[in-house]
Amino acid sequence: MNDLPDEVLHLIFYETAEPANLSRVNHRLLSVSQDPFVRANYFITRHGELQAIYFALARGKLLTPRVLDILLASGAHLSRYLVQVAFHHFFHSHSHFTIKLPWVRNVSLSTFAYFLSLAAEKFGEIPRGKGEDDGAIVSQFIKEARQESQHVTWEQVRDIFETHNFIPFCERDPLFSQIPLALAIEPRLLPYAVANGFHMDAKYRDFVFRKMFERSAAPVQAHTEEIVGNVRELCRLDPSMFVTRTVAAEVCLEPKTNEAAYRALRQLDRGGDLSFTLRELIQDIIKLFLRVRAITSATTSQILIQLYTDFLAPSSTTSNLDPLVRRAMFLTVFAAEPSVRVSDMTERLAPLKLGPFTISDAADVLLSAFVEKPSPVLEYLRREGVSPSGRKPTSAEVRELAEEVAVRCLGRDAKGKTLKRLCDIYPNVKPRIVQAVLGDHARSVEEILAEGGLVQGNCAKLAKQMGGAVCSEGEETDEELEGQDEDEDEDEGGDYRERSTDDEEEDEDVHMWDPEEDEGASVTRDLGAISLEPLTTMIRRDENQGTRGRRRYYHTYHLNTLGSNSRLPIDHHSVARWIKIEFGSKSSVTAVFLTHAVVNGNHSVLNTYLHPVHGIPVPITLKHFRLMAALGTSCADYNLYERIKAGAPFYASEEDYISGSGDTASVLMKKLDKGKAKAIKVEPVEMRPVKVEPVSPPRGRKRPRRSAATAVSSYAVPDSDDEAITSLEDREGEYAEFRGISSKDKVKVKVKAMQTVSPLEEWVKALEEINKDEQRKYREQKKQADRDKGEGPKARVSKSDFFRSLTSHLRTLRDLEQEERKSRSGSDGQDGESDAEDDEYVCQGACRAKRRRTTA
């Protein structure tokens, strides 16, 4: 340490949080730490020029007059506001900014007097009264910005910034987050703030422009000119400041309630002051409303109609219009709440000039999640619609449309009401649904699984996960929304959530400026994402967010103007639930939906199908566990294991219970195929047969030989006079089907019938076989990984989620099986206790162990 040059020791001190501890190591380090130059540069290096004096005043023992001179000579920023706050805090008087820490009170009186003399020399007379400090004046200016009578003028605030170097001196100052607001009110302050060390963070950009476009009580025309002037002035002073698509979209959602801001935005668009065209922005906004419930409200419809009329309305019906925009404008009429009468639809659609209402348009409208009543749409299609031939649609074409829509609704779980009403109107819809489910969807999972290409969520098109709330663009492309195949374009499992342009990580510090940031770096213009929240809501959210480094919590405000941003109707009916009610629990159609729900991990559908509260549960099969094993997922296994614990019967596949349940769907499918049965493939992969002995062999057939694995030991002797056997033989009418066999065989069958295999035992045996397969696969993967890795430590291979879950649940199932077996044997054991009194069953006791003889 003694051999290092002084420059290196200086750098070590600059990187130390507590230099006092380092100074106690030896005399040389102590002398280096007492150097005024080292102390002054320590504060500038660690805290920057803007906050150096503030943190130096907190280290009173390190601060000396010489250190103050070096700090000011090195460029440390000193404002009159800092001097005023330090004066009030040192003499225990009230100030605008109250600091709870000792701070400047640790400074010696002589040093603090020298600090005040430097301030007086620089700023002259300094106001010291209550409420006279610069921070209080700027705060009052911000509060009175939207009031008619103002006590603080723009010139006073300008002098505070220009002459007295005003800027918040630390991040704990409440005014730290108010400077962007002051710039939004008066953009002409920006050059003075930048001269004092202020640097605008990009995340405050939207906040500043939102306050510029905020609604005011001033006259519309005057407020419009004020907004346009402020935006242009701020963009001229700082090239990094520009109106984003996020703020512009929020303004567009208030064309009536904030008319001045809407006019100012249109004027900026015409003047070329925006980095985008407003027409394209309006198109994207209208497209977003295709997937949210807000499109059903009357207020939202009026907003969309006004935006469409101002920017997108064609001069004639032959003009090109975006198909998604056209569909959204149709939904403003057909999805309106309350429902619009058919006679009023023509009057509302005529001013929009959307062109003829075709069969394809009707299909798109009926497939929307917010159109649950198909009758008005079909009736309007009959009256005013146009078929591909150019004439009015015939009854056959409308019926065919209903069948096509019903089939496409199967992949959209919120369309249960639409399916029910279509089946009530057209009886041929139900057979078409059966044909689609059993003909197309029943084989898709098994075929892909047999090919080894099953990926969770990609092939199971039924019982998909439903999304929650929407709100930003970019999560679905226009091609997916437009979708030639609507069964594939709608990713119900996608998580749609609002994207904020200023998202922060937990406990992230809020920094408004960074002096070390490269000022010459090129500015990349991120125009921002579009949300479906109006400007007023976002301003409230900005004002209620945390400050001074706390994590920001955004509070949702649901305005009556836009309603909810949910992707689902208010009281939607699930397609899977309707399938179960319509076809029954033991139907082949219901079985297909359950299989798809297992593949997709849809807990909502699984709960509806498997929980007894929702009616008779749908049987589960070993095939479902085989599918999860192929996927390697455990997202749906909880529901299945709970059914096993509740006593679900064992089935290898759905064919085991469908064949004997009189399934109407299978019968209907056979009629549609003209006698050619299309059985469901029930073995997607090679399944090991489960060794389950039947309860009793059929009449007239020889009883199969009992295997060693399933043999059951018994104390009953076939030709003995045991009372239990005699009582069994004396029962009339019982085991009548075995009267043709010998008495010895009859006794054996009776004993076996008393020891039937429970469903739980069958499940445990079958799942153990799957568990063995998974163990074998895991060992093979480990061996392959070791071979690929070569020499060295063994490779670590993680087990699949299904394998870990199966191993855990098998322990529980085995425990339940043992308890069940004990409960059954306990009832038989009571009868056997009386037999223990016979001499031949009396235990003679253990023989005494022989002692080994030893020789001396």
Least confident of 12-26, 777-791, 797-811: 12-26
Identity of residue 748: K
Q: State the pLDDT confidence band at 286, using cuts at 50, 70 and 90.
A: very high
Does the pLDDT value for residue 763 go beyond 80? yes
Contact 461, 487 (CB under 8 A): yes
pLDDT score at 452: 54
pLDDT given for residue 325 in this prediction: 92
pLDDT of amino acid 7: 81
Please indicate whether residue 596 or residue 852 has the higher confidence score (pLDDT): 596
Q: Which long-range contacts (CB under 8 A, 24 or more apart) does 33-41 make?
A: 36/64, 36/66, 36/67, 36/70, 37/70, 38/10, 38/13, 39/63, 39/64, 39/67, 39/70, 40/67, 40/70, 40/71, 40/74, 40/76, 41/10, 41/14, 41/70, 41/74
For the CA atoms of 148, 153, 155, 161, the dihedral, rounded to the nearest 10 degrees, stands at -120
Percent of the chain with pLDDT over 90: 29
Residue 25, SS3? coil
- The domain spans of the chain are 443-464+574-672, 741-824
Q: What is the pLDDT of residues 60-92, one digit of tens each?
A: 888 999 999 999 999 999 999 999 999 999 998
Mean pLDDT of 558-587: 76
Q: Are 96 and 135 in contact (CB under 8 A)?
A: yes
Highest mean pLDDT of the ranges 519-533, 698-712, 805-819: 805-819
The residue count for the chain: 856
pLDDT at position 853? 57
How high is the mean pLDDT of the chain? 76
- Between the CA of residue 328 and those of 146, 214, 288, 354, 381, what are the distances in Å? 38, 28, 9, 11, 17
Residue 258's CB: how many other CB atoms inside 10 A?
A: 24
Could you write out the three-class secondary structure of 424-468? Answer: HHCCCHHHHHHHHHHHHHHHHHHHHHHHCCCCCCCCCCCCCCCCC
Region 255-279 average pLDDT: 93
Rg of the chain over CA atoms, in angstroms? 40
Between 97 and 180, residue with greater pLDDT: 180
Higher-confidence residue of 670 and 550: namely 670
Average pLDDT over residues 781-801: 82
Q: Is the dihedral of CA 663, 666, 669, 670 positive or negative?
A: negative
- Provide the H-helix boundaries in 504-650: 535-543, 575-583, 588-600, 603-610, 622-631, 637-645
Query: What's the CA gap between 431 and 419, in Å, rounded?
Result: 12
* Overall average pLDDT of the 47-72 stretch: 92
Q: What are the two backbone dihedrals, phi and then psi, of residue 384, each rounded to the nearest 5 degrees?
A: -115, -5
- For position 263, what pLDDT does the model report? 95
H or E stretch covering 304: helix 298-307
Q: Is the C-alpha dihedral spanning 254, 256, 258, 263 positive or negative? A: positive
What pLDDT is stored for residue 191 in this prediction? 87
Averaged pLDDT for residues 428-453:
76
Q: Can you give the pLDDT at residue 493?
A: 33
> What values do phi and psi take at 100, rounded to 5?
-80, -20
Which comes out higher in pLDDT, residue 259 or 181? Answer: 259
Q: Based on the number of CB atoms within 10 Å of its own CB, is 692 exposed (0-12), middle (13-18) or buried (19 or more)?
A: middle
Q: Which residue has the higher pLDDT, 262 or 411?
A: 262
pLDDT in tens, 104-155: 999 999 999 999 999 999 999 999 888 889 999 998 898 887 676 778 888 8
Q: What is the pLDDT of residue 218?
A: 84
pLDDT digits (tens, 9 = 90+) for 292-323: 888 988 899 999 999 999 998 876 554 678 89
10 pLDDT band (50/70/90 cuts)? Answer: confident
Is the Cβ–Cβ distance between 574 and 303 less than 8 Å? no
For residues 741-752, average pLDDT: 52
Rounded to whole angstroms, the Cα distance separating 401 from 179 reads: 60
Residue 850 pLDDT level (bands cut at 50, 70, 90): low
Is 114 in contact with 68 (CB distance < 8 Å)? yes
290 vs 713, which has greater pLDDT?
290
Alpha-carbon separation of residue 265 from 277, 365, 541 (angstroms):
11, 32, 22
pLDDT at 556: 37
Q: Looking at residue 448, what is its pLDDT?
A: 58
User: Residue 75: phi, psi to the nearest 5?
Assistant: 105, 10
DSSP secondary structure letter of residue 615: S
Name the pLDDT band for 473 (thresholds 50, 70, 90).
very low
The yes-or-no verdict on residue 844 having pLDDT over 80 is no
Burial (0-12, 13-18, 19+ Cβ within 10 Å), 69: middle
Query: Residue range 645-666: average pLDDT?
Result: 79
Mean pLDDT of all residues in 654-659: 82
Give the pLDDT band (50/70/90) at residue 442.
Answer: confident
Q: According to the model, what pLDDT value does residue 424 have?
A: 92
CB-CB contact of 568 with 369 (8 Å):
yes
Q: Are 203 and 501 in contact (CB under 8 A)?
A: yes
CA 757: distance to chain centroid?
Answer: 45
pLDDT per position as a tens digit, 353-412: 888 999 999 999 999 989 889 999 999 999 999 888 888 899 999 999 999 999 999 888
Report d(CA 175, CA 162) in Å as an integer: 17
Question: How buried is residue 576: exposed, middle or buried, by Cβ count under 10 Å (0-12/13-18/19+)?
Answer: buried
In the chain, pLDDT over 70 holds for what percent of residues? 72
Q: How many separate helices (H) and strands (E) can be counted in the chain?
A: 39, 0
Report the range of poorest mean pLDDT among 83-92, 176-185, 348-357, 493-502: 493-502
- Angle formed by the axes of helices 588-600 and 622-631, nearest 10°: 30
Q: Which tokens go with 508?
A: 């992230």
d(CA 382, CA 394): 8
**Span between the terminal Cα atoms of the chain, in Å:** 79
Residue 439, pLDDT score: 83
- C-alpha dihedral (635, 636, 637, 638), degrees to nearest 10: 90
> Residues 595, 599, 604, 609: what is their CA dihedral angle, to the nearest 10 degrees?
20
* 689 vs 235, more confident: 235
Find the mean pLDDT for residues 627-643. 84
Yes or no: say if 55 and 48 are a contact pair by the CB < 8 Å rule.
no
- pLDDT value of residue 81: 93
The whole-number pLDDT of residue 638 equals 83
Of residues 315 and 253, more confidently modeled:
253
CB 144 within 8 A of CB 137: no
- What token pair was written down for 720? 């003995």
